[in-house]
C-alpha cells in the first residue's frame, strides 16, 4: 500500500499544515490539519514510514488538568 493511501486510511481528509525537517532522517516531516477545523491531526514522514496521529481532544484534556491544579 502506498504511503498516501495509508495516510488516507489513518488521517482521512487533510491539508498540509507545515513541513519541518525530520529529526530522524532529515527528510520533510509533514504536519497535517483538518481542512474544516484547521486543527492539527497528525504528522508523517514518508522517508521514515512513520505516522503519528494527534489526539483531537488534547486541548480539552490539558484544560481539565490545569483546572485540577491547586
Ligand atoms: Zn524521517
- How many whole angstroms from 28 Cα to the centroid of ligand 1? 7
What pLDDT digit, counting tens, does each position of 9-57 carry? 999 999 999 999 999 999 999 999 999 999 999 999 999 999 999 876 6
Distance (angstroms) between ligand 1 centre and the Cα of 64 equals 33
pLDDT for 59 equals: 57
pLDDT bin (cut points 50, 70, 90) of residue 1 is low
Q: How many other CB atoms sit within 10 Å of the CB of residue 28?
A: 14
CA of 52 relative to ligand 1 center, distance in Å = 12
What separation in Å is there between the alpha carbon of 58 and the centre of ligand 1? 24
pLDDT at 55: 78
Please check whether residue 33 is in contact with residue 40, taking contact to mean a CB–CB distance below 8 angstroms: yes
pTM for this one? 0.75
| Model pLDDT, residue 60 | 56
62 pLDDT above the threshold of 70 = no
What separation in Å is there between the alpha carbon of 20 and the centre of ligand 1? 10
Amino acid at each position: 500500500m502506498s504511503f498516501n493511501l495509508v495516510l488516507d486510511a489513518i488521517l482521512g481528509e487533510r491539508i498540509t499544515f507545515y513541513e519541518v525537517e525530520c529529526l530522524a532522517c532529515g527528510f520533510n516531516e509533514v504536519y497535517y490539519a483538518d481542512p474544516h477545523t484547521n486543527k492539527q491531526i497528525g504528522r508523517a514522514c514518508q522517508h521514515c514510514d512513520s505516522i503519528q496521529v494527534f489526539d483531537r481532544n488534547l486541548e480539552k484534556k490539558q484544560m481539565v488538568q490545569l483546572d485540577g491544579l491547586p
